[in-house]
Homo-oligomer: A and B are copies of this chain.
Amino acid sequence: MRPQVVIVGGGFAGLNAARALRGADVEITVVDKRNFHLFQPLLYQVAMAALNPSDIAYPIRSVFKRQDNVTRVLLGEVTEIDLDGRNIQVADEEIAYDFLIVATGATHSYFGREEWEPLAPGLKTVEDALAMRARVLRAFERAEARPEESDKWLTFVVVGAGPTGVELAGALIEIAVHAMGEEFDRVDPAKARVVLVEGADRVLPPYPRSLSTSAQRQLEELGVEVVTGTVVSSIDGDGVTLESGRRIVAGTVLWAAGVRASPLGRMLGDVDRSGRALVEPDLSVAGHPEVFVAGDLAAVEGVPGVAPAAMQMGRHAARVIRTGERRPFHYRDKGSLATIGRARAVADIKGFRYGGFAAWLSWLGIHIFYLIGFRNRFFVLAGWAWHYLTFRRGARIITGVPKT
């Protein structure tokens, strides 16, 4: 029997690991608790009613339809990893492996304040995005139904000014000003306030300082209030209080801060503060050279939690399995990009830093290029073109809880 490679997680790391093993003399099983790969960098567009979930999701089975050595795609959750016995437990089935790649990623973290979650939802899954969309759209409806409370309902606070927070803040202003503008009778959505709160001294803290400056200027031009150097000390149903003592009354608080790794990290040995698995230079687990960790779940010094890094790690693990050579993983920084809104972005590509429309075009091109599958590229492009030309939101519907 050919060596059994089991890959847990169908995100950027897992998918790229499996693809890099194409043609190798192994049998690959891909396990994920969802049936689709999610193009996470555009999830905020689903939350902001510009895209549909299926525009940025692609069935994992379809990805591997023509890769012969992926002999099994399994929908299920891993409940146990037996490192010594070399098998994993998925529902009531035990799956043996010769090589294991764990790439189950990370989600947002409330820094121990889990009670904030219902008050300030985060953005990691399709369900999160739909819930966030419903909450934002409903805030405008509440302002209309109760004009006396419109100051509250037209104020949105975004906590955390990493790429996701910056994207959300920019998109919120655009929805308020352009998408909702003429349709309300008793309130003016264009008067909405968006406040972006960041604990560090600047937005996009992991990016070069000149990009942060450019991003903040572009956000402020759009009308976003940027508050840096202070963190949120409490959240309640009527808004947030900052550590600085400032109170912001807001009907909607969105969470875009913190990272907490998947619980599978702890099954692999030592983890860092965020729960990410500590790994050897070649991404394997100490004492278990047949087990690799890739993507956001791996704690590797100096590697950011972005899609290109996850893809590189997945391919690296595959290469070690394929060649047997235990080379250390090196992250090749292809640059940083963050979009701020329609035709606004910042870019730092190989040291060349720029902002505005040119950066936005780079962002657009790269994201469309990386979207998997023709349908998705086409529809995302068509949806954007439409959105760009008309300022409208195609997916402006409030949906709730399907009974499954």
Contacts and interface: CB of A to CB of B under 8 A. Distances in A.
Nearest to A394: B375
Contact of A57 (B72, B138, B186, B397): B397
Nearest to A36: B397
Given A52-B395, A134-B404, 12 more contacts: A35-B398, A36-B396, A54-B397, A59-B396, A71-B185, A74-B144, A75-B398, A91-B145, A93-B145, A128-B402, A131-B403, A399-B402
A317 interface: no
A386 interface: yes
B72 A403 contact: no
Interface string A104-141: 00000000000000100100001110110011011001
Contacts of A306: none
Given A52-B54, A145-B76, A61 B399 contact: no
A183 interface: yes
A288 interface: no
For the complex of A and B, 6 pairs with smallest distance between CB atoms: A131-B402, A54-B395, A61-B183, A127-B402, A52-B52, A75-B141
Contacts of A183: 59, 61-62, 64-65, 73
Interface centre among A35, A137, A186 (most CB of B within 10 A): A35
Contact of A397 (B59, B185, B401, B403): B59
Contacts of A358: none
A246 interface: no
A53 interface: yes
Interface centre among A53, A62, A402 (most CB of B within 10 A): A402
Nearest to A383: B379
A72 B397 contact: no
Main SS class of interface, A: mixed
A184 interface: yes
Given A35-B141, A62-B183, A401 B401 contact: yes
Copies of the chain in the assembly: 2
Given A141-B35, A183-B61, A397-B53, A134 B402 contact: yes
A403 B399 CA distance: 11
Given A74-B145, A184-B61, A394-B54, A35 B402 contact: no
Interface in A356-385: 375, 378-379, 382-383
Given A59-B396, A375-B392, A127 B71 contact: no
Interface in A135-164: 135, 137-138, 141, 144-145
Contacts of A128: 402-403
B121 A396 contact: no
A403 B138 CA distance: 14
A61 B183 CA distance: 6
Interface in A176-191: 182-186
A247 interface: no
A142 to B, nearest CB: 8
12 contacts: A35-B138, A35-B397, A54-B397, A59-B396, A61-B184, A62-B396, A75-B141, A131-B402, A134-B402, A375-B386, A375-B394, A379-B379
A399 B127 contact: yes
